[in-house]
């Protein structure tokens, strides 16, 4: 078997289709079912951050419904991906978890599952970037009276005990869950660290339209000054709703949320928060306005009608946000850690991980491991890499490199 693709999410299916186009023999191994992560590890109300008109994959698969400006709910996306796998006739073996990928004694790779062993000239890792929740070490100091959840555990508000909720993290996941809890009548405090503020619409168009048209989403990994920084930028504060509403810290406080700074320590049940909340919010506002300035400049140069603005108002922050909270005495029942995710490489027996457990690669070509590839990571090859519509360009680039490798090393 020349190529084994690990994972049958949107990225793995995109790679499979491009391999088929080029008549490269391959198999896709999936631990559960197609779109397994979406089926089992997402909260019930989640919708895509990108509008439906951007939902597309190689082979002509694209949203063709009646609401191109809407946002897919998870069941709709699952149906889209199931149909895509059938449409492109992807050679997926479901319920086949990969237990090991190791170098072969005669070159290539040995891929083991719970039932079979495959010899592959090349392997494409498409197993997702959100397999495990990142929970900071301070979680160990949270009083045992409080429940602790991650977004992988959370499904809906009535799952939580009735007391107050501390949501740690203010990127897309944190603010979306905080907003849902507020709408369900819960008391919510949000611990805010670095974040990216972004309006849902600007100058009458979805922000994603502007990012596509201005070329920002197509910016390549070899064109940025600080790639490590670019790959770790938090996900933007966005939500996909029928009314295309903005969701930022101002929207949360308008609905009753309290804001505190980054959670720095918990000692004896007392949570300590950074005093930098105002500065963090001011920096996010500054970057927001720089982005909108760039859009205005591009629109003027392109001759697009319309006036700049209006701009979102600055983030509202209390003059003296709380720096200490006694979590038990204040009535908190739950801490929800919206502090990011990491990929799971526990099955990858090839020494290609850095000290943080992240795979070392150049645009998806894994370093020091010829024939090993990665797809589906943030800013893999372009800023749009983490979005569904970003998979096609990345898949074509990676398969180009892979096909050349197989031509020389194929068996």
User: Minimal CA–CA distance to 168: which of 254, 275, 264?
Assistant: 264
User: Minimal CA–CA distance to 289: which of 370, 354, 198?
Assistant: 198
Phi, psi of 345, deg, nearest 5? -115, 25
Q: CA–CA distance from 33 to each of 12, 39, 76, 410 (Å)?
A: 12, 8, 16, 29
Question: What are the residues whose beta carbons fall under 8 Å from the beta carbon of 39, sequence distance 6 or more?
Answer: 32, 33, 78
The pLDDT, as a whole number, for residue 1 is 66
The pLDDT, as a whole number, for residue 348 is 97
The pLDDT, as a whole number, for residue 309 is 77
Q: What is the 3-state secondary structure (H, E, C) of 168-231?
A: ECCCHHHHHHHHHHHHCCCCEEEECCCCEECCCEECCEEHHHHHHHCCHHHCEHHHCCCHHHHH
Within the chain, how many helices (H) and strands (E) appear?
Answer: 9, 26
Helix (H, G, I), strand (E, B) or coil at 407: helix
The pLDDT, as a whole number, for residue 407 is 84
Question: What are the residues whose beta carbons fall under 8 Å from the beta carbon of 333, sequence distance 6 or more?
Answer: 146, 147, 160, 161, 162, 163, 164, 165
User: CA-to-CA distance for 230 and 253, rounded, in angstroms?
Assistant: 29
User: Minimal CA–CA distance to 4: which of 112, 114, 131, 130?
Assistant: 112
User: CA-to-CA distance for 322 and 388, rounded, in angstroms?
Assistant: 39
Cα dihedral sign for 79, 82, 84, 86?
negative
Q: Which residues of the chain fall short of a pLDDT of 70?
A: 1, 410-411
Parallel, antiparallel or unpaired: strands 61-62 and 3-6: unpaired
User: Minimal CA–CA distance to 133: which of 391, 406, 335?
Assistant: 335
Q: Which domains does the chain have, with CATH numbers?
A: 3-131+343-409 (3.50.50.60), 132-337 (3.50.50.60)
The partner residues of 118 in beta bridges, in order of sequence, read 111
| R_g of the chain computed on alpha carbons | 22
User: CA-to-CA distance for 44 and 67, rounded, in angstroms?
Assistant: 20
What's the predicted TM-score (pTM) here? Answer: 0.94
């Amino acid at each position: 078997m020349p190529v084994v693709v690990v994972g049958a999410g949107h990225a793995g299916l995109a790679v499979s289709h491009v391999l088929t186009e080029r008549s490269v023999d391959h198999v896709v191994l999936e631990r559960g079912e197609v779109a397994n992560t979406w089926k089992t590890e997402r909260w019930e109300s989640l919708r895509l951050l990108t509008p439906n008109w951007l939902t597309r994959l190689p082979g002509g698969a694209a949203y063709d419904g009646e609401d191109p400006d809407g946002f897919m709910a998870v069941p709709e996306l699952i149906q889209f991906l199931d149909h895509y796998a059938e449409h492109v006739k992807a050679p997926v073996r479901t319920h086949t978890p990969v237990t090991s990928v190791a170098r072969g004694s005669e070159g290539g790779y040995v891929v083991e599952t719970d039932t079979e062993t495959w010899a592959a000239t090349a392997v494409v890792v498409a197993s997702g970037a959100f397999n495990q929740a990142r929970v900071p070490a301070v979680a160990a100091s949270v009083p045992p009276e409080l429940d602790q959840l991650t977004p992988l555990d959370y499904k809906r508000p009535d799952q939580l005990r009735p007391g107050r909720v501390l949501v740690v993290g203010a990127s897309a996941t944190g603010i979306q869950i905080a907003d849902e809890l507020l709408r369900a009548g819960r008391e919510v405090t949000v611990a805010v660290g670095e974040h990216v503020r972004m309006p849902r619409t600007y100058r009458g168009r979805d922000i994603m339209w502007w990012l596509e048209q201005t070329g920002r989403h197509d910016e390549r990994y070899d064109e940025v000054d600080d790639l490590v920084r670019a790959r770790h930028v938090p996900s933007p504060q966005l939500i996909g709703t029928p009314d295309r509403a903005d969701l930022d810290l101002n929207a949360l406080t308008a609905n009753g949320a309290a804001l505190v700074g980054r959670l720095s320590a918990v000692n004896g049940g007392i949570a300590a928060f950074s005093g930098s909340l105002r500065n963090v919010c001011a920096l996010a506002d500054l970057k927001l306005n720089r982005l909108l300035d760039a859009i205005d400049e591009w629109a003027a140069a392109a001759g697009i009608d319309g006036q700049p603005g209006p701009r979102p108002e600055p983030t509202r922050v209390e003059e003296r946000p709380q720096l200490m909270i006694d979590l038990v005495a204040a009535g908190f029942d739950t801490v929800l850690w919206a502090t990011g995710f990491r990929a799971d490489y526990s099955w990858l027996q090839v020494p290609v991980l850095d000290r943080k457990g992240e795979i070392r690669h150049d645009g998806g070509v894994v370093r020091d491991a010829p024939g090993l590839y990665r797809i589906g990571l943030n800013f893999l090859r372009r800023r749009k890499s983490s979005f569904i519509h970003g998979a096609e360009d990345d898949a074509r680039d990676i398969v180009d490199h892979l096909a050349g490798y197989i031509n020389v090393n194929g068996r």
